[in-house]
């Protein structure tokens, strides 16, 4: 689109304080900037530290583009939260008895920023506000000053459609138990799930009431931005626009806005491995021979489960990179690692304790499969990299994403996870071994690999000039400009 037109657009982004919400919003802000808009990301003091370095790297590469951070005050202690509790990462490593309610407390405490948001909107008069679904109060704040509010859920059209159909038709009310499978009524395709996997918060619970506010706020908003591309889930993109949201634009995969090495390496937290060393190790492996194993920033496995993963990977005889999230309270204690494991798997496997440069690894030609928790950011990064996946959903909307990968796209193999991780079901080393081998070398692996590669090519075409996501972003920016 005409750069003189887009230069007049100022987009404010307000992500929820969690890695999985902030990273795609950072990608989105960079994408809008690269198309000529001015981007401002609103965040809190501690979270600003996560964003500063990648933004600096982006600005160094693109000195003419406008992108910045606006910091809002968030006094955690005054808000009856532990000191420094500004991010879900804090909660994941918080080992005290009240950790369970801490997420809800953080969620409700964000309303403290409402006044700051309104003052900011009033003085800067942005073209629009893209606010996380977890800020339902943002719609009213933006409306007050005639600014359109866009909702960002950070998930797929498919999972949004599943949630809508579950709420509308309530098929889970027609089965005897929470573990009885049923078909989700009214959706394209026969999608089979259980009530437990659907993970619906009862409307009587604080979370259920909050999600009702989220839906009401969304119905009053200007529309929805979706991190997906049309060719990936056309039936569900059409369904969503017909029945759920009055307006929705697909602008993904957002991770593909990171073109260079520095951008991919600086995305998210600082890696716990030297990126160049990691790439050098991958360079030494045969194309498609490495399985990448990572379960996102919010998963805490028991030592027993980690032990099963370790033995399963070793038994698979595949090359692997395994990312293990360090629990701050474990210290140097590594009871989960079998004795002599790293010596035995030397040359075959790398264990990264902490944060990994995921996009950099997934894009490498030696990687042939991805073991994932099915969080949408990870799933879409795997799709964009053209990889088949071993699916291991844990909670949130991950079982929906898992159904998309295994039943609709048919690029995923389930490891055997059938219930929420908090129920404590152990996935055995045999199941891990079987799923990893199936994805890399099983009978259907070749067909799965071909289709995954095709999806990766479609993802890249969608964000290139003239592609479906490129054009949808154009339409959105033109609509914004037409409001001036």
Question: Which residues are identified as catalytic?
Answer: 21, 132
Give the CA radius of gyration of the chain.
22
DSSP 428-478: PHHHHHHHHHHHHHSTTHHHHHHHHHHHHHHHHHHHSTTSHHHHHHHHHHH
| CA atoms in the 13 A half-sphere facing the CB of 86 | 21
Work out the end-to-end distance of the chain between its first and last CA atoms, rounded to an integer number of angstroms. Answer: 16
Do residues 385 and 306 touch, judged by C-beta distance below 8 A?
no
Q: What are phi and psi of 349, to 5 degrees?
A: -145, 155
Q: Cβ neighbours of residue 315 under 8 Å, at least 6 residues apart? A: 429, 430, 433
Length of the chain: 484
Distance CA 67, CA 406 (A): 38
Check if the beta carbon of residue 73 is closer than 8 Å to that of residue 116.
Answer: yes
C-alpha 132/C-alpha 117 separation (Å) is 13
Contact 425/400 with Cβ under 8 angstroms?
A: no
* Count of other CB atoms within 10 angstroms of residue 205: 11
Widest CA span in the chain:
65
**Residues 436/316, Cβ–Cβ less than 8 Å:** yes
Quote the Cα angle for 398-18-256, to 5°.
70
Closest CA to 295 of 267, 326, 337, 258: 326
149 sits in which H/E element? strand 149-152
Cβ-contact 16, 135 below 8 angstroms: yes
For residues 286 and 289, give the distance between their C-alpha atoms in angstroms, rounded to a whole number. Answer: 6
Neighbours of 164 (CB within 10 A): 19
Alpha-carbon span 12 to 225, nearest angstrom: 13
Beta carbons of 380 and 255 less than 8 angstroms apart: yes
Task: Tell me the three state secondary structure of residue 28.
Answer: helix
> Residue 166 burial by CB count (10 A; 0-12/13-18/19+): exposed, middle or buried?
buried
The DSSP secondary-structure symbol of 23 reads: H
């Amino acid at each position: 689109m005409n750069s003189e037109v887009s230069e007049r657009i100022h987009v404010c982004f307000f992500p929820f304080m969690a890695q999985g919400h902030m990273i795609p919003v950072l990608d989105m802000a960079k994408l809008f900037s690269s198309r000529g808009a001015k981007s401002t990301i609103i965040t809190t003091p501690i979270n600003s530290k996560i964003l500063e370095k990648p933004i600096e790297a982006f600005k160094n590469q693109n000195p003419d583009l406008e992108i910045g951070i606006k910091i809002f005050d968030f006094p955690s202690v005054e808000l009856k939260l532990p000191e420094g509790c500004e991010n879900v990462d804090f909660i994941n490593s918080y080992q005290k008895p009240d950790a369970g309610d801490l997420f809800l407390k953080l969620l409700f405490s964000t309303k403290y920023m409402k006044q700051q948001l309104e003052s900011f909107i009033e003085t800067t008069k942005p073209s629009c506000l893209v606010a996380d679904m977890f800020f339902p109060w943002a719609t009213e704040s933006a409306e007050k000053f005639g600014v359109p509010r866009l909702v960002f859920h950070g998930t797929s059209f498919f999972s949004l459609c599943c949630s809508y159909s579950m709420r509308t038709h309530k098929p889970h009310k027609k089965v005897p138990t929470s573990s009885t499978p049923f078909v989700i009524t009214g959706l394209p395709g026969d999608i089979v799930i259980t009530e437990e996997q659907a993970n619906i918060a009862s409307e009587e619970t604080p979370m259920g009431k909050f999600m009702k506010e989220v839906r009401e706020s969304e119905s009053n908003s200007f529309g929805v931005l979706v991190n997906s591309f049309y060719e990936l889930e056309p039936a569900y993109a059409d369904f969503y626009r017909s029945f759920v949201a009055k307006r929705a634009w697909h602008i993904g995969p957002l991770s593909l806005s990171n073109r260079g090495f520095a951008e991919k390496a600086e995305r998210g937290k600082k890696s716990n491995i030297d990126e160049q060393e990691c790439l050098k190790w991958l360079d030494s492996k045969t194309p498609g021979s490495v399985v990448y194993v990572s379960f996102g920033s919010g998963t805490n496995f028991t030592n027993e489960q980690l032990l099963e993963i370790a033995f399963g990977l070793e038994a698979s005889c595949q090359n692997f990179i395994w990312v293990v999230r360090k629990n701050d309270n474990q210290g140097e204690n590594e009871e989960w690692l079998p004795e002599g494991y790293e010596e035995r798997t030397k040359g075959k496997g790398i264990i990264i304790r902490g944060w990994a440069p995921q996009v950099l690894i997934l894009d490498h030609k030696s990687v042939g499969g991805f073991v994932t928790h099915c969080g949408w950011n990870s799933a879409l990064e795997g799709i964009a990299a053209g990889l088949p996946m071993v699916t291991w959903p844990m909670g949130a909307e991950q079982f929906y994403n898992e159904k998309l990968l295994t039943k609709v796209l048919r690029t995923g193999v389930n490891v055997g996870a059938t219930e929420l991780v908090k129920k404590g079901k152990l996935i055995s080393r045999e199941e891990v071994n079987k799923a990893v081998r199936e994805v890399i070398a099983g009978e259907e692996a070749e067909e799965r690999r071909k289709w995954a590669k095709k999806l990766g090519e479609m993802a890249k075409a969608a964000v290139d000039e003239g592609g479906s996501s490129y054009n949808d972003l154009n339409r959105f920016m033109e609509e914004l400009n037409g409001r001036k």
